[in-house]
Amino acid sequence: MTILAPSTGEAPRGTSLRPCLHTIRGNLRLASALVMLAFVVCHLTAHSLLLISLPVAELGLTLLMKPWRSNAGTALLVTAFLVHYLNALWSIYVKRSLRLSRWEWWQLGLGMSIPVLLLAHVVATRVAEQFLDVNFYYSSILLVYWKLAPWRGILQAAALLAVWSHACIGIHFWLRTKAWYPDWRVVMFAVGLLLPTLALAGFVSGGNQVLREARNAGFVETSLGDSNVTQETRDRISDWAAKGLAIHVALVLLPFAARGVRSLVQRRRRPPILSHAGGRNLIVLPGATVLETLRENGIAHASVCGGRARCTTCRIQVTRGLEELPPPERLEAKALARIEASPGMRLACQVRPTADIAVTPLCAVDATAADGRIKGGLEGSERLVTVVFVDLRGSTTLGESKLPYDVLYILNLFFHEMTNALIATNGHYSQFTGDGLMALYGLHGNDPATGAVDALRGAREMLARLDQLNHQLRAELAQPLRIGIGIHFSEAIVGSMGPPGSQIITAIGDTVNTCARLESLTKEFNCSVIVSRRAAEMAGINVGERTLHDAPVKGRIQTVQFYTFDGLPDVAA
């Protein structure tokens, strides 16, 4: 039975908080990406101004690019590119499996295509300006792209789409694990769609402006002359771009060649064996994570963030070999602390076994980012919990005397008030039961009594809110709404259950059946609340001379003992 410790914001005891190479790489990858994204946003904003006129766009480009054209800005941008580029090459090498998800392949493929699409443009502008005394303006660069070499214009448009798509994929999968992201996703999508659309529209508009100007005699020669573009400089630019492309291709092939050499060397060693809960035993390549091993062998496993220790959906329970694993490093330790991980829980994307290991997945294959925010221990474990059943009395009569829309309106108000009562008292809404609900208390924290105390507070809050609702609906109801509440404390199997895509955190077992029986007994005893003896003792209720009842429970040999209440007494401190 697992009892979770309260969250302290610190890493689990025994973990290592020292910075690791993986953490440093992740931080550098993100920082370099954001630097380059800022540059791209400035560039596309300037392109959008071409919709107004060439002079306005030229002024906007000068102002927006001024920080980047300084020595510090250039150094920052070049450093960011090299860090991001080399990190991408290194990531190809260090991955033990290239069975990536579709979005990971798209991001990697687009990233590797960007130098191919942009190399000629970068050499023709920034490099040529630095070493060939060339000074391109919008008029001259658009002249090249729309009249002298239209295929380069197509290449430039493709580059814009590749860069922006690569950036948007990265931003989306970075932010999708954030709780606030769903609320802002539509706004960010709109901005992400609008900016490149305006930039491409400006590119087309500016190109048409230049084509119209090119009809004038001497415009082409004057524009190229102002930019100091000669046939010699164009040839040198093409030569440098070709050499840069060759270097890029060689660098991309290098990690794949290194992977082949590594594979040949590693085949001579006896690798660790990964035993999966599904019954398969898998060979773990040296340095491979559990997630990479599962993917390499075609076993689906949740990983919303792509194996970067952000979402925790790849969480596993290590059932054998835990003592042979090194403690979590900083990135994993922070993620485990955030979800209050129970003992033996690790992240499949961070664990690199060096000895035999057995694991059990803790999240469904189709887990979402929201599932990754579920606290540890709620994937399925036997634990002490307080169960509360609430049932609305006379709902059938209500349905007979009211129109369906009126009944729906009243029920929605009822469930709204009951849910707010749960939220106010640390309860968890577990299941909808037609004209009632099931709630759980004590899912978090290391003191089971807290859940029982909160459940009693929740029952008081429900009764108070029901009184307020009855007063609000007094003109609509022939008689006030009444509820019956059953409260029981004991062991239950708690976890995320249900069909894929519709799972809920709930409980099953004898405790749930007993609590449902207690709630039904409120009709027989004509009372509002029934609390089991065990729940009353755990919560510290002062029962005084109150009668202790007992009743049989279907499917259970022993009877359940309980107290009946119309108004709940104070809980002992």
- In this structure, are 333 and 391 located in the same domain? no
CA pair distance 542, 571, nearest whole angstrom: 7
Question: Are 32 and 80 contacting, i.e. CB atoms less than 8 angstroms apart?
Answer: yes
pLDDT-based confidence at residue 402 (cuts at 50, 70, 90):
low
pLDDT at 438: 94
How many other β-carbons are positioned within 10 Å of the β-carbon of residue 263? 11
| Per-residue confidence (pLDDT) for residue 500, from 0 to 100 | 57
Q: How far apart are CA 335 and CA 349, in angstroms?
A: 12
Q: How far apart are CA 573 and CA 571, in angstroms?
A: 6
Final residue before a domain boundary, out of 372, 407, 437: 372
- What does the pLDDT read at residue 434? 74
The whole-angstrom separation of Cα 134 and Cα 339 is 56
Q: How far is CA 43 from the centre of its chain?
A: 30
Q: Are 317 and 351 in contact (CB under 8 A)?
A: no
Q: Which domain holds residue 351?
A: 273-372
pLDDT score at 9:
37
Q: How do residues 446-491 score in pLDDT, each as one tens digit?
A: 788 899 999 999 999 999 999 999 999 888 887 889 999 999 999 9
Phi and psi at residue 510, to the nearest 5° = -60, -35
* Phi/psi at 495 (5° precision): 180, 180
With beta carbons less than 8 A apart as the criterion, state whether 384 and 442 touch: yes
CATH, residue 283: 3.10.20.30
520 found inside a domain: yes
Q: Looking at the domain assignment, is residue 2 inside a domain?
A: no
Q: Which residues lie below 8 Å from residue 48, measured CB to CB, with a gap of 6+?
A: 195, 198, 199, 201, 202
Q: Does residue 366 share a domain with residue 385?
A: no
Res. 573: pLDDT tops 60: no
pLDDT of residue 18: 40
- Supply the CATH number for residue 442's domain: 3.30.70.1230
**pLDDT at residue 506 tops 90:** no
**CA 263 vs CA 87, 288, 319, 569: distances in Å:** 21, 12, 29, 70
Checking if the pLDDT of 233 tops 90, the result is no
363 and 457 in one domain? no
Residues 72 and 204 in one domain: yes
- The pLDDT, as a whole number, for residue 12 is 40
State the average pLDDT for the chain.
86
Instruction: At 283, give phi and psi (nearest 5°).
Output: -80, 130
Q: Which amino acid is at 343?
A: P
Does 45 fall in a domain?
yes
The answer to the question of residue 517 being in a domain is yes
Assess if residue 261 is contained within a domain. Answer: no
**Interval 355-373: pLDDT, tens:** 999 998 888 788 888 878 8
What pLDDT score does 380 carry?
A: 67
Is 477 contained in some domain? yes
Higher pLDDT, 124 or 424: 424
Phi, psi of 257 (to 5 degrees): -65, -40
Of 535, 531, 534, nearest to 518 (Cα)? Answer: 531
| Structure-token pair, residue 118 | 């942009």
Q: How confident is the model at residue 3 (pLDDT cuts 50, 70, 90)?
A: very low
**How high is the pLDDT of residue 46?**
94
Looking at the structure, tell me whether residues 64 and 158 fall in a common domain.
yes
Does residue 128 surpass a pLDDT of 90?
no
Nearest to 415 by CA among 447, 399, 439: 439
Under the banding of pLDDT at 50, 70 and 90, the label for residue 570 is: low
Spatial CA neighbour of 347 closest among 304, 302, 298, 314: 314
Select from 196, 218, 251 the last residue of a domain: 251
pLDDT of residue 525: 93
CA distance 84 to 439: 48
For the chain, the C-alpha Rg in angstroms (whole number) is: 32
Within a domain: 10: no
- Residue 401 pLDDT greater than 60, yes or no: yes
Model confidence at 501, pLDDT cuts 50, 70, 90, reads low
User: Is 111 in the same domain as 244?
Assistant: yes
User: What are the residue ranges of helices labelled H in 369-491?
Assistant: 369-372, 395-401, 404-424, 448-472
Q: Is 90 exceeded by the pLDDT of residue 140? A: no
227 and 279 co-located in one domain: no
543 in the same domain as 418: yes
Which pLDDT score, from 0 to 100, does residue 85 have? Answer: 94
Higher pLDDT, 49 or 269: 49
pLDDT given for residue 22 in this prediction: 67
The secondary structure of residue 363, as a DSSP letter, is: S
**Residue finishing a domain among 221, 251, 281:** 251
Verify that 38 and 180 share a domain, yes or no. Answer: yes
**Domain tally, the chain:** 3
Residues 242-253 pLDDT 10s: 999 999 999 999
State the CATH number of the domain containing residue 167: 1.20.1300
pLDDT in tens, 62-101: 999 999 989 999 999 999 999 999 999 998 888 877 777 7
Nearest to 15 by CA among 329, 325, 351, 321: 329
Q: What is the pTM of this model?
A: 0.59
Do residues 489 and 556 share a domain?
Answer: yes
300-316 residue pLDDT tens: 898 888 888 888 889 99
Quote the pLDDT of residue 498.
Answer: 67
Q: Has residue 6 been placed in a domain? A: no
Local confidence band at 399 (pLDDT 50, 70, 90 cut-offs): low
56 and 142 in a single domain? The answer is yes
Residue 398 and residue 368 share a domain: no
